[in-house]
Structure 1
Amino acid sequence: MKYPYIIIDDDPESAARTQSLFDEFANYFLLGTAATYEDGVNLILEHKPKLVVMEIKPKYKKSGLSLGLINELFRFVKVMPKIVVLTKGKDMAYEAIKHEAFDYLVKPLGIHELRKTLIKFERGTEALPTTLCIKSYGDYRFIDMEDIVYAKADNNSTDIYMANGDMVTAFKTMKHFETTLPSEFIRIHNSYMININHVSRIHLGNNVCYLKNSKVQIPFSKSYKKNVDMLIHLITTNENKELSKIYLNLDNMN
């Protein structure tokens, strides 16, 4: 599958570097570049890309680049492209998440960071299976992904905990499941990945997530704060009635 994308950046050198990194991925093709807010909006409306890489802290103020561009797009398009914010520093990450940016990358952009973002992007744009197959010495076990509550890394294997209380050991690393499971699963710790649909509470002061119908507390680490912020945003903006009842304890993170 081919993926069209657009770059919006008022720094020509930065835009050229971003394009050169994308050139390493044969299934992506550039539709065009824009250096101002107005040109960026027009380019997106004209070409309807699937992916937009956008600067929000412009080199030149007159370019007008900002997160406001995302808000304007919501007024005109039925299907929003995935917006990847690419800028200097991490200070705008939470604001970008609140504006429903797909991802947030920090300049100077590296090939490894871009690859991870594109893997997540492709995973979200293609139809994914709803069943996970766990194989162990000729024994095939088929699990509904929606029944997975969380996963815990155990050296080179991963323990998968189910809503019915069962635990299944998969002889795959957590990294494997990070790229296999759908976007409802978010990694919040080196050892833990959690299903957003089973979260009942997030306590930032104690660095733990609570699960529905369970006394289990899942720790999260400060190194995954970006993912935790995303988790909070996804839960609080989800229109599902069940998720709207989730209680979030937003104590300040130490």
Structure 2
Amino acid sequence: MKDSFAFIKTDKKLIKLYYKEITVIKGLGNYVEINLLDGQKHLYYKSLKELIETLPEEFMRVHNSYIVNLDSIDRIEDNHVIVQYQKIAIAKSYKNCLITAIEKRML
């Protein structure tokens, strides 16, 4: 079984993050901003491209600048995913993959 958490190094501290608490990861050049369910945000020195390769399968890239936790998506409207009142555009290149993943979770 894959780990349910990971550590990140930020502000000279090692912080334990549970995957289920991560909602959105926003790319900021060579850094990422990791948003948590409780509203906390952590800045981490890693690119989105590097990070997506190490995350569990419930994390999906939906835009060049965003990775979302599928478990955190509240709804999908038009070409946007809504996660905790945050509206994130779905890029055309990632849409089919996202829809396929969502269809696997439909009732």
**TM-score calculated relative to the size of structure 2:** 0.91
Which one has a larger percent helix, Structure 1 or Structure 2?
Answer: 1
Q: Does 1:144 align with 2:18?
A: yes
The correspondence for 1:187, drawn from 47, 61, 83, is: 61
**5+ residue gaps in structure 2?**
none
Q: Deviating runs (4+, > 3 A) in structure 1?
A: none
Q: Is the 8 A contact 1:196 1:235 kept in 2?
A: no
CA distance in 2, matches of 1:154, 1:141: 20
Q: Is the 8 A contact 1:132 1:144 kept in 2?
A: yes
How much has 1:137 moved relative to structure 2?
5.4
Q: Which amino acid in structure 2 is aligned with residue 226 of structure 1?
A: N
Corresponding residue for 1:210? 82
Q: Which amino acid in structure 1 is aligned with residue 80 of structure 2?
A: V
Task: Encode CA deviations 1:188-244: one digit per residue, 9 max, x unaligned.
Answer: 1111111111111112x3x10012xx221111110112222223213315xxxxxxx
Which one has a larger percent strand, Structure 1 or Structure 2?
Answer: 2
Relative contact order: is structure 1 or structure 2 higher (C-alpha 8 Å, sep ≥ 6)?
Answer: 2
Report the CA distance shift for 1:209/1:182 in structure 2 as closer, same or farther (over 3 A).
same
Larger Rg: 1
Task: Encode CA deviations 1:14-63: one digit per residue, 9 max, x unaligned.
Answer: xxxxxxxxxxxxxxxxxxxxxxxxxxxxxxxxxxxxxxxxxxxxxxxxxx
Task: Encode CA deviations 1:42-100: one digit per residue, 9 max, x unaligned.
Answer: xxxxxxxxxxxxxxxxxxxxxxxxxxxxxxxxxxxxxxxxxxxxxxxxxxxxxxxxxxx
Q: Is the 8 A contact 2:10 2:42 kept in 1?
A: no
Q: Which amino acid in structure 2 is aligned with residue 225 of structure 1?
A: K
Q: Which amino acid in structure 1 is aligned with residue 30 of structure 2?
A: N
CA distance in 2, matches of 1:154, 1:231: 25
Corresponding residue for 1:235? 105
1:128-139 pair list within 5 angstroms:
128-136=2-10, 138-139=12-13
Q: Is the 8 A contact 2:7 2:15 kept in 1?
A: yes
Corresponding residue for 1:176? 50
**TM-score calculated relative to the size of structure 1:** 0.40
Percent of residue pairs bearing the same amino acid type: 27
CA distance in 2, matches of 1:235, 1:194: 15
1:1-254 pair list within 5 angstroms:
127-136=1-10, 138-203=12-77, 205=78, 207-211=79-83, 214-236=84-106
CA distance in 2, matches of 1:134, 1:171: 9
How much has 1:184 moved relative to structure 2?
0.5
